[in-house]
């Protein structure tokens, strides 16, 4: 397996470029793939429509927005006054969401992030990151530390004050499925832009890749809105990335948007 590294302008071109690269790999798999997206909430409407049509052709696959909403519920957030109201509304809806979508019966990433089962009860980790950034901006005269807002998801162990977790020891024992997202870290640059690094232990690019990119981008944008920062880039690292079936339709989609599907 060769190193797969992709830089793209938006979510749509990132998915296409990553799919093209994985299509060239043996068994369409690669270890430690890196995808960096300059505008992690930007999309090409034509690619988005084609992606949803591709997902509709599969067996029991979820549309892009459905996958993205497991990481961040954009519509609920946009109609909420602030992060606190978003959390309150989502918590009320959470049992219904888990029952309605069978793939989410073990929970969603956003649900875990805002209701992590700590020793003191459910803990809103996203809100804690927002609060830390805002408190630091006020106390430091607007000067922020660049690398202080990490978010652990997989096997967190003893969580520090800046750690977010999804993985619950002794509960999440399945080797497959939720949670595959294992680590998130918010970073700040000198131009007051907020960036996000997310690491997956594995990722199926067709089934969840596009929605994962978009959901993470929306999560980044939410934290940026709540802290008065600009949205930076999103970097996604997958321990094992797989371009799965329906591969013929995937290749036709790539060719439609000008990507070469021939092997080198």
Query: Domain holding 160: CATH number?
Result: 3.30.572
pLDDT value, residue 41:
98
Q: Does residue 113 form part of some domain? A: yes
pLDDT value, residue 109:
92
Burial of 26 (0-12, 13-18, 19+ CB in 10 A): exposed
pLDDT value, residue 239:
93
Query: For the chain (length 264 residues), average pLDDT per consecutive 10?
Result: 90 98 95 97 98 89 94 97 97 87 78 85 89 79 53 41 48 54 84 91 95 98 96 96 95 97 80
Q: Does residue 35 form part of some domain? A: yes
Q: Does residue 82 form part of some domain? A: yes
Angstrom distance (rounded) from CA 215 to CA 18: 17
Q: Which domain holds residue 56?
A: 5-207+214-256
Q: Does residue 200 form part of some domain? A: yes
CB-CB neighbours of 135 under 10 Å: 10
Q: Does residue 122 form part of some domain? A: yes
Q: Which long-range contacts (CB under 8 A, 24 or more apart) does 158-163 make?
A: 159/118, 161/128, 161/132, 162/129, 162/132, 163/125
Angstrom distance (rounded) from CA 10 to CA 80: 26
Q: Does residue 261 form part of some domain? A: no
Q: Say what angle helices 210-227 and 11-23 make with each other, to 10 degrees.
A: 150
Q: pTM here?
A: 0.88
Q: Does residue 263 form part of some domain? A: no
Residue 253 three-state SS: helix
Q: Does residue 138 form part of some domain? A: yes
Q: How many domains does one find in the chain?
A: 1
């Amino acid at each position: 397996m060769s190193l797969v590294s992709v830089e793209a302008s938006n979510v749509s071109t990132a998915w296409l470029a990553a799919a093209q690269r994985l299509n060239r790999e043996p068994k369409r798999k690669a270890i430690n793939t890196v995808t960096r997206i300059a505008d992690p909430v930007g999309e090409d409407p034509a690619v988005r429509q084609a992606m949803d049509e591709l997902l509709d052709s599969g067996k029991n696959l979820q549309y892009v927005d459905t996958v993205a909403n497991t990481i961040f519920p954009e519509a609920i957030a946009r109609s909420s006054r602030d992060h606190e109201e978003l959390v309150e509304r989502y918590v009320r809806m959470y049992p219904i969401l888990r029952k309605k979508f069978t793939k989410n019966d073990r929970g969603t990433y956003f649900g875990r992030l805002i209701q992590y089962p700590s020793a003191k009860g459910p803990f809103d980790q996203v809100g804690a990151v927002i609060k830390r950034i805002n408190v630091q901006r006020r106390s430091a005269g607007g000067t922020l530390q660049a690398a202080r807002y990490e978010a652990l998801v997989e096997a967190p162990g003893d969580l520090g004050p800046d750690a977010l977790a999804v993985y619950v020891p002794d509960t999440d024992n399945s080797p497959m499925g939720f949670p595959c997202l294992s680590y998130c870290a918010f970073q700040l640059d000198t131009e007051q832009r907020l960036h996000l690094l997310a690491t997956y232990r594995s990722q199926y690019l067709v089934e969840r890749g596009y929605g994962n990119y978009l959901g993470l981008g929306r999560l980044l944008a939410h934290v940026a809105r709540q802290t008065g920062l600009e949205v930076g880039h999103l970097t996604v690292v997958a321990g094992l990335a797989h371009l799965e079936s329906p591969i013929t339709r995937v290749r036709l989609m790539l060719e439609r948007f000008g990507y070469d599907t021939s092997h080198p």
